Amino acid sequence: MHSIRTPGKINLTLRVLGRRDDGFHELETVLYPVPLFDELEIELTRRPGVELQCRCPQIPTGDDNLICRAARLFRQAAGTEDGLAVRLEKRIPVQAGLGGGSSDAAATLTALNRIYDGVLSRTVLEDLASQLGSDVPFFLADGPALATGRGEKVARLTPFASFRGVGLVLVHPGFGVSAAWAYSRIQPSDWKVPAPAATTEILAAFRSGDWSGSLNGLHNSLERPVFEKYPVLAVIRSELLAAGAQGALMSGSGSTVFGLVREHRQAEEVRQRFLASYGESCWSRSLVLD
Is 135 part of the annotated catalytic residue set?
A: yes
Q: Report helix angle 100-115 to 122-132, nearest 10.
A: 150
| H or E stretch at 226 | helix 223-229
Asked if residues 137 and 152 have their Cβ atoms less than 8 Å apart, the reply is yes
Name the catalytic one among 38, 90, 104, 135. 135
Measured CA to CA, the distance from residue 207 to residue 211 in angstroms comes to 10
Of 168, 199, 172, 183, nearest in space to 263 by CA: 168
User: Would you call 53 helix, strand, or coil by DSSP?
Assistant: strand
Name the catalytic one among 9, 38, 90, 104. 9
Q: Each residue of 173-187: b (16+ CB within 10 Å) or e?
A: beebbebeebbeebe
Asked if residues 105 and 136 have their Cβ atoms less than 8 Å apart, the reply is yes
Q: Which residues are catalytic?
A: 9, 135
